[in-house]
Every structure is written in structure tokens, then in C-alpha cells.
Homo-oligomer: A and B are copies of this chain.
Amino acid sequence: MYYKHHVFFCINRRDSGEVCCAQRGSEAMQAYAKDRIKSLRRSGPGGVRINKAGCLDRCDLGPCMVVYPEAVWYTYVDKQDIDEIIDSHLIHGRVVERLLLP
């Protein structure tokens, strides 16, 4: 396992006003998560990788991200949600039930 947790944020932007993750601030949240993992010194091989991704095709439930290899899907609203996913799941291995996608 190259990364313990490999996280993909959808940062797709759709045209013509359709619902998309980028419209809901996903790019800023991905950048925030990446910086936070780095400042916590959890980035890199054996640790956590925070990636941008194209459309994960769950637009209606977005903004969304997925954590592999465990295949846990989350939505989020703000930095507090990102902090909770990082602290609980990515650092301590406890899934954040309230933010799971159905």
C-alpha cells in the first residue's frame, strides 16, 4: 500500500450552471486539506495523499470526496467538516458517520 489513505476530491466544474462540486467550493477545500495534512506531517508514502480528481459522478450528492483503499465517500460543507474528516478518519482511523454519502 503506497499511501495509507489516498483521498480524491472532485473538483470538476460543469458548464451552464449545472450542479457541480467546484461550484460548492471543492477546490479551496482540497487545497485546505492538502495544506493541513502537510502541516501535520502526515503527507507522503506510507501516509496520506490529498488529490484533485475529475468528476466522480456523484454530483447530486456533492461536494464529494472518496478515501481509498477503504472506499469511504464523504460530503462536506466547510473547513470544520474537513478538519473532522482529517482528525477522525485520516489520523485516527474512525469514519465520520454524519458526513457519509448514502
List chain A positions with a Cβ less than 8 A from chain B. 1-3, 6, 8, 44, 49, 51-58, 66, 68-71, 73
Contact = CB atoms under 8 A, between A and B. Distances in A.
Number of copies of this kind of chain in the complex:
2
16 contacts: A1-B71, A2-B58, A2-B73, A3-B71, A6-B66, A6-B68, A6-B71, A49-B56, A51-B53, A51-B54, A51-B55, A53-B53, A53-B54, A68-B69, A69-B69, A69-B71
A56 B51 contact: yes
Contact of A8 (B1, B44, B51, B71): B51
A40 B49 CA distance: 31
A36 to B, nearest CB: 17
